[in-house]
Amino acid sequence: MANKETMTSRERLLKTLNHQIPDRVPIDLGGFQTGIHKRAYAELLSYLGIEEEITILDPVQQLARPSEEVLKRFRVDTRYICAHGPDDFKGQIEQNTRDGRLWHDLRDEFGVVWSMPDEQMLYMDISHHPLADASAGDIEDYPFPDGSDPSRFTGVRQTALQMRSETPYAISTGIGGVVYEYCWYMRGLERWFIDTIDNPAFCEALLEKTLKFWMDYYTGFMREVGDIVDVVMIGDDLAGQSGPLFSPDFYRKIVKPRQKKLVRHIKSLTKAKIWYHTCGSCFEYIPELIDNGIDILNPVQIGLVNMEPQKLKDMFGRRISLWGGGIDAQHILAFAEPGEIREHVRRNLEVFKPGGGYVFNNVHNIQFGVPAENIVALFDAAYEFGFYD
């Protein structure tokens, strides 16, 4: 007998995140860490025979905003609601010429400048760290953005209510809560890592500022949508290909208490599940994240040391939901044939499905260079093999 859906997308996701058995594994596409690059999306549209104007979700990562037609084609169960910049922040991309090259520059609210050369147009990288030469005293004088500015949230509740009343989909916020990572965006990665050893007081002072921003931000955001959304997405990259990016002792003493405070604050404002994004081999930190109150781990970067699907499912599958890990994005998705993609998805689902607690997605965003037929094979296999008996 053919597989048959018996739940709405929202029912399916909530049941899954409560570690119960849904009709099938929920499918996600279209977030800031679960999205698709604009050039990969353009090729996908051509392959599917869909004509539409591409809009940009995230200019830094150059992610497209998938249309409803595409999301429905792949049976995607999630939709996203985002706040926006305050009224006094413009945030337009400017074109500037430097050293004979045309650059596209974006200055964010924290004063970090992201740049992309015109001849590349793939991603933006940081070209200016505003606190690169700052002292601890300078932090107090720096014009940090106001997370509580109510103009960030104008119209958000109305949009969320419309999504809830008119669609069957699960609703997630966009990514936020970037307490740790924004510190090195502002300081510079090398200088920040030196600070973690030589100047931890500077790190703590800066972390307090980013924490305050996000505490204020979620106070306002959850006031508008906390009773509507199903998932709140936060994240800081803590790990690389082989393990932690910086001292676990620094994380546990200085970063973790602030992350935990933010999670507890958000949970005091909403019943939504808290989703946490960290790339890399984050195995060592999973118990810490669970202790922080995190409900969902993303992107589940399988293929790295200690990140084998069966190991993660056996050790943590009842304590935290896994969102991602559908296929090895670094070594398989862009290079295999569609039939091999299908088989990889089938095997991973066999491991992740039992007992619920699993949402299907690629590991992170689908990048330019992934063949359109592989993208189709990825999501079609997720649907076909995602049904529970």
What is the domain partition of the chain in residue ranges? 9-85+143-385
What's domain 9-85+143-385's architecture? Alpha-Beta Barrel (3.20)
Q: What is the pLDDT of residue 210?
A: 98
Q: What is the pLDDT of residue 2?
A: 67
Query: 11 and 338 in contact (C-beta within 8 Å)?
Result: no
Angstrom CA distances, 160 to 83, 116, 183, stand at: 11, 33, 31
Question: For the whole model, what pTM was predicted?
Answer: 0.96
Which of 345, 346, 322, 177 minimizes the C-alpha distance to 262? 177
What residues of the chain score a pLDDT lower than 70?
A: 1-2
Extended beta strands in 166-230, E state: 170-176
Structure tokens at 122: 């793939």
Q: What is the pLDDT of residue 100?
A: 93
Which of 174, 159, 269, 262 minimizes the C-alpha distance to 220? 269
Q: What is the pLDDT of residue 90?
A: 87
Q: What residues pair up with 79 in beta bridges, in sequence order?
A: 171
Query: 368 and 122 in contact (C-beta within 8 Å)?
Result: yes
3-state helix, strand, coil in the chain (%, to 5): 40, 15, 45
Which of 32, 71, 74 minimizes the C-alpha distance to 232? 32
Q: Please state whether beta strands 273-277 and 296-298 pair in parallel, antiparallel, or not at all (unpaired).
A: parallel
- The end-to-end CA distance of the chain, in Å, is 11
